Chain A
Amino acid sequence: MAFVCSVPTLCRTILSSLLLLFAAGIFVPSAPAADTLTIYSGRSERLIKPVLDAFTAKTGIQIELLSSGTTELVNRLKAEGDRTSADLFITNDAGSLELARGAGLLHPLNMREIERAIPAQFRAPDNAWVGLSGRFWIVVYNNTMVKPDQIKSLLDLADPKWKDKIAIPNSGSEYLQAGVSVIRSTYGDEKTRQFLQGLKTNADNQVYQKSSQIVDAVAKGQVALGIVNHYYVYRHLAAQPGAPIAVVMPDQQEGGMGAIMNVAGVGVIKSTKRLDSAKLLVEFLVAQAGQKLFADLDKEYPLHQDVKADPALVERKSFRAALVPLSKLAELREPTITLIEQVGLR
């Protein structure tokens, strides 16, 4: 205190301004007003905000959104524990949701609305997380550079003839990790390693942080092929209908593994103090209206049986999905990351 008294003017002004800030409560995680939900979102803001805005318009409940990396947010939720200000967690990857559930971060939900709307294979057994929309790993190609019959399977992409012609997502992205997990559990570690090594050589420095950039690079002809989730292609086509890009749904050949599927989903945070509002949001997202928004805005496959996907998309019934259950993605994650690092993907 002697220090404080000995430099009075300076410290008094500054301390009082600091105290003001304290009073404003910005130094401790603030508890937002009762009619505001805080969402940690691993989905890019562009893809989720319109849906949440529709919810706010309908119910008057405001949304506070923190958009960041999925794994980063799981780390953050773990570290924050019960003190977190988050009420819900929305992300792109069932594996991450399952990991969050395993860490006890999510609140089981017993809601008829969920069970009626979303088939059981797309949610956790206790509904601690619920899938909202389906997405598939596809190969996007520039149709001035590649013929569709040149690619049958994802594994074809490791062929040396595609050297410097292919763009891939960076190894930190959860969807790449989930995809590699599916390939591993289908073909085993050794074959997967060979595939990744070929992919690494072929892509060289065409490793992208964002899927939209991959589609962009293919459309511009910078590369011939790319691996992305399907909806980035259709979003690009919706914005630029003339773009010379098309989609191969891979691994549909006789005995092939089927397309790699993942879901975007939502979970309610265990420590939430706004459980009722949070449930309202989940209900909104799984209901027909909410599912239609995902289908129309984001070009994903709605999981609600009665909601149709965008007609521009490949008809869902026309192709097979790989047989690895979504909830297994969590346990497959760690060894997959190790394999990816051993291969040295960026």
Chain B
Amino acid sequence: MNTSRHQLVSPLQLVALATAGIILLPLGYVTAQALSADPAVWSRLWATRIPELLFNTVSLAGSVSVITLVLGVSTAWLVTRVEFPARRLWEGALVLPLAMPTYVLAYVYSYLLGFGGPVEHLWQLVAGPQARIFSPHSYWGATLVMALDTFPFVYLLSRSALLSMNVSFEEVARASGVSRLSTLWRVTLPLMRPSIAAGVALVILYVVSDFGAVSLLRYQTLTYAVFQQMTGRSDNTAASILSLLLVALALIFLITERWFRQRSRFYQTTGRYRAPQRRQYGWLGTAAVTGYLGLIIGTAFALPTLLLIQWSLSPEAQATLDSRFFGFVWNSGILAACAATGGVLIGLPLAYLASRRPTVLNLSCLQAAYAGYVLPGPVAALAVLVLFTKLAPVFYGSVLILIVAYVIHFLPAGLQSLEPALQHMSPNLEEVARTLGLGMRDTWRRVTLPLIRNGFVVAWVLIFLQTMKELPATLLLRPVGFDTLAIRVWMEASEEYYQLAAPSALLIVFLSLPALALLVSKDWRAA
């Protein structure tokens, strides 16, 4: 038995090591390229671009996190502490914005809020014909779009904190004569703090690495600048330098998020758990709550979706639904399927080893795989590009290079569901199967795999959907004839052909919906 176990482990170990290598190597190359760059390039970037880019990126992250904090916590509090008609429906609807890729929301809003657009016309009816509203192609435009798109992260984390919180604390405060508002401020919110912080850190990570919205709204952030450097310059030095800064920035927020998430695990509902009491509001309160939630979901999901449907039904859009369009659908599907399969295949040995033989080596391999979190799309593309041109130029311009970029980028999303699936399954089950005389193969087939199947499927679906929506890496690495739905949306939307972009955008949104159900029930963090 020892020998067979040995046989199983060492090749697995090799696979895990190779995987970690494949993931870290590109990052290493980019870092090396950035650090070995001519100091003149560094100082030129410091003097011209870096301060502006850092300021833009950080201030966008700041304003988005404040708004998502308010939206996320207030909506979570309403659905867990107040009783109103169709509450459960609202509870589910509040995650819908996650189905909307940022670039889709950005392009819808650049129409709605654009110069001479419908919102401005409405405003001019009120404020006179010369009145102007703020341009969507600005700091505030980017803030609005990113906040509407990402507040469900904070909502979901706050909601589960509110649901799992021990209500006795609040009851004690109320019994001691503390007012409702004061209880909320002094008891409930402090207890929620770690969850809220984790949610906000996640939002920031998302904002910092977003490419789609900022490129369509022409708001200069580090991620966007990396893309521009890669497409506008004949060497990648400046792009690597900006990438390195971006990775460092993302790393800070990733560590923050993890730290707070660790802490949020510490408080348990000791003693008896009771569901929190929901207050019944009068008709005025109900109307106010419904109006508030309706406004949020309307602006973040319903209105954009209706607009996309209307555009998709226009004759211009209908004319694009030819065999070429189905080619794009097929490309999206095949690329996403390859990436999902690759990601799951690579993720499984990593997660398996880390949970069954948690040696330092195995655990570090697993952590290395999480590097994708700090590699925004353009950086992942740059890293893979640099690696392949150095080591295996034969694959340049092939599908493989694109799939490697996807796998590196989205492996964390897959691991998020593979890891718990393996951890929840006790190794005893496998051992029992072995003692009862089942061979290695049969144990895997009849015990391990059926037990982890759900985690496996969820991981696959998650990577599939992420890949389907992915924009910057696809733009930079796609081979000839591999335009995807996301690419079409971006190409048409960036020239403001709103109708032509709509069918692809709508399809992406609809395909994301079933996965959202999975996310909410399982592992929504990876969205």
In the complex, what distance in Å separates the CA atom of A333 from the CA atom of B495? 26
Q: Is A57 among interface residues, defined by CB-CB distance under 8 A?
A: no
In the complex, what distance in Å separates the CA atom of A71 from the CA atom of B449? 48
Q: Is A14 among interface residues, defined by CB-CB distance under 8 A?
A: yes
Report yes or no: B228 in contact with A29, Cβ–Cβ below 8 A: no
A3, A9, A44, A213: most-surrounded residue (chain B CB, <10 A): A3
Report yes or no: B496 in contact with A212, Cβ–Cβ below 8 A: yes
What's the nearest-Cβ distance from chain A to residue B233, in Å? 7
Report yes or no: B496 in contact with A213, Cβ–Cβ below 8 A: yes
Residues in B neighbouring A14, C-beta threshold 8 A:
341, 345
Report yes or no: B494 in contact with A210, Cβ–Cβ below 8 A: yes
Report yes or no: B137 in contact with A205, Cβ–Cβ below 8 A: yes
Q: Is B178 among interface residues, defined by CB-CB distance under 8 A?
A: no
Report yes or no: A8 in contact with B441, Cβ–Cβ below 8 A: yes
Report yes or no: B48 in contact with A344, Cβ–Cβ below 8 A: yes
In the complex, what distance in Å separates the CA atom of A3 from the CA atom of B16? 11
Residues in A neighbouring B389, C-beta threshold 8 A:
79
Report yes or no: A83 in contact with B11, Cβ–Cβ below 8 A: no
Q: Is A67 among interface residues, defined by CB-CB distance under 8 A?
A: yes
Residues in A neighbouring B475, C-beta threshold 8 A:
68
Report yes or no: A79 in contact with B393, Cβ–Cβ below 8 A: yes
Residues in A neighbouring B228, C-beta threshold 8 A:
170, 172
Report yes or no: A44 in contact with B495, Cβ–Cβ below 8 A: yes
Report yes or no: B234 in contact with A29, Cβ–Cβ below 8 A: no
In the complex, what distance in Å separates the CA atom of A27 from the CA atom of B400? 5
Residues in A neighbouring B513, C-beta threshold 8 A:
none
Residues in A neighbouring B10, C-beta threshold 8 A:
2
Report yes or no: B496 in contact with A80, Cβ–Cβ below 8 A: no
Partner-contacting stretch, out of A116-124, A138-146, A216-224 = A216-224
Q: Which single residue of chain B is at the shortest CB-CB distance from A69?
A: B231
Q: A29-B397, A205-B218, A341-B48 are in contact. Are A64 and B445 (CB under 8 A)?
A: no
Partner-contacting stretch, out of B20-28, B268-276, B476-484, B501-509 = B476-484
What's the nearest-Cβ distance from chain B to residue A85, in Å? 6
Report yes or no: B12 in contact with A21, Cβ–Cβ below 8 A: no
In the complex, what distance in Å separates the CA atom of A182 from the CA atom of B47? 26
Interface string of B465-489 (1 = CB under 8 A from A): 0000000000110111100000000
What's the nearest-Cβ distance from chain B to residue A331, in Å? 13
Report yes or no: B345 in contact with A81, Cβ–Cβ below 8 A: no
Q: Which single residue of chain A is at the shortest CB-CB distance from B13?
A: A3
What's the nearest-Cβ distance from chain A to residue B234, in Å? 6
Q: Is A207 among interface residues, defined by CB-CB distance under 8 A?
A: yes
Residues in B neighbouring A46, C-beta threshold 8 A:
495
Report yes or no: A213 in contact with B234, Cβ–Cβ below 8 A: no
Q: Is A86 among interface residues, defined by CB-CB distance under 8 A?
A: yes
Q: Which single residue of chain B is at the shortest CB-CB distance from A17?
A: B341
Report yes or no: B231 in contact with A72, Cβ–Cβ below 8 A: yes
Report yes or no: A209 in contact with B115, Cβ–Cβ below 8 A: no
Q: Which single residue of chain B is at the shortest CB-CB distance from A333?
A: B234
What's the nearest-Cβ distance from chain B to residue A342, in Å? 6
Report yes or no: B234 in contact with A71, Cβ–Cβ below 8 A: yes
Q: Is A23 among interface residues, defined by CB-CB distance under 8 A?
A: no
Residues in A neighbouring B232, C-beta threshold 8 A:
69, 71-72, 171-173
Give chain B interface residues in 301-357, CB to chain A under 8 Å. 334, 338, 341, 345, 349
Q: Count contacts on B: residues with CB < 8 A to the other chain.
A: 54
Q: Is A208 among interface residues, defined by CB-CB distance under 8 A?
A: yes
What's the nearest-Cβ distance from chain B to residue A67, in Å? 7
Q: Which single residue of chain A is at the shortest CB-CB distance from B478?
A: A66
Q: A69-B232, A83-B396 are in contact. Are A342 and B44 (CB under 8 A)?
A: yes
In the complex, what distance in Å separates the CA atom of A235 from the CA atom of B215? 25
What's the nearest-Cβ distance from chain B to residue A60, in Å? 18
B215, B389, B397: most-surrounded residue (chain A CB, <10 A): B397
In the complex, what distance in Å separates the CA atom of A67 from the CA atom of B495? 14
In the complex, what distance in Å separates the CA atom of A306 from the CA atom of B10? 74
In the complex, what distance in Å separates the CA atom of A221 from the CA atom of B115? 9
Determine which of B12, B234, B449, B481 lies in contact with A10 in the assembled complex, contact meaning CB atoms within 8 Å: B449
Q: Which single residue of chain A is at the shortest CB-CB distance from B220?
A: A346
Give chain A interface residues in 1-43, CB to chain B under 8 Å. 1-3, 5-11, 14, 17-18, 21, 26-29, 38, 40
What's the nearest-Cβ distance from chain B to residue A98, in Å? 13
Q: Is B394 among interface residues, defined by CB-CB distance under 8 A?
A: yes
What's the nearest-Cβ distance from chain B to residue A230, in Å? 18
Report yes or no: B397 in contact with A84, Cβ–Cβ below 8 A: yes
Q: Which single residue of chain B is at the shortest CB-CB distance from A7?
A: B444
Interface string of B349-388 (1 = CB under 8 A from A): 1000000000000000000000000000000000001000
In the complex, what distance in Å separates the CA atom of A29 from the CA atom of B395? 7
Report yes or no: A71 in contact with B231, Cβ–Cβ below 8 A: yes
Report yes or no: A216 in contact with B480, Cβ–Cβ below 8 A: no
In the complex, what distance in Å separates the CA atom of A46 from the CA atom of B341? 35
What's the nearest-Cβ distance from chain A to residue B281, in Å? 44
What's the nearest-Cβ distance from chain B to residue A42, in Å? 10
B116, B494, B495: most-surrounded residue (chain A CB, <10 A): B495
Residues in B neighbouring A64, C-beta threshold 8 A:
480-481
Q: A2-B8, A72-B230 are in contact. Are A209 and B494 (CB under 8 A)?
A: yes
Determine which of A9, A213, A344 lies in contact with B495 in the assembled complex, contact meaning CB atoms within 8 Å: A213
Q: A337-B233, A341-B49 are in contact. Are A6 and B8 (CB under 8 A)?
A: yes
Q: Is B15 among interface residues, defined by CB-CB distance under 8 A?
A: yes
Residues in A neighbouring B398, C-beta threshold 8 A:
26-29
Q: Is B255 among interface residues, defined by CB-CB distance under 8 A?
A: no
Report yes or no: B341 in contact with A79, Cβ–Cβ below 8 A: no
Determine which of B115, B215, B480 lies in contact with A38 in the assembled complex, contact meaning CB atoms within 8 Å: B480
Q: A172-B232, A205-B138 are in contact. Are A28 and B480 (CB under 8 A)?
A: no
Q: Which single residue of chain B is at the shortest CB-CB distance from A74?
A: B234
Determine which of B48, B393, B481 lies in contact with A342 in the assembled complex, contact meaning CB atoms within 8 Å: B48
Q: Is B518 among interface residues, defined by CB-CB distance under 8 A?
A: no
Interface string of B204-248 (1 = CB under 8 A from A): 000000000001001010000000101111100000000000000
In the assembled complex, 7 residue pairs joining A and B whose CB atoms fall closer than 8 Å, in A order, are A27-B399, A69-B232, A71-B233, A85-B479, A209-B494, A216-B496, A221-B116
Extra contacts besides A8-B441, A71-B231 (9): CB < 8 Å: A7-B441, A7-B444, A44-B495, A69-B231, A79-B385, A79-B393, A80-B396, A341-B44, A344-B48
A positions within 8 Å CB-CB of B: 1-3, 5-11, 14, 17-18, 21, 26-29, 38, 40, 44-46, 64-69, 71-72, 74-76, 79-81, 83-86, 99, 170-173, 205, 207-210, 212-213, 216-217, 220-222, 337-338, 341-344, 346
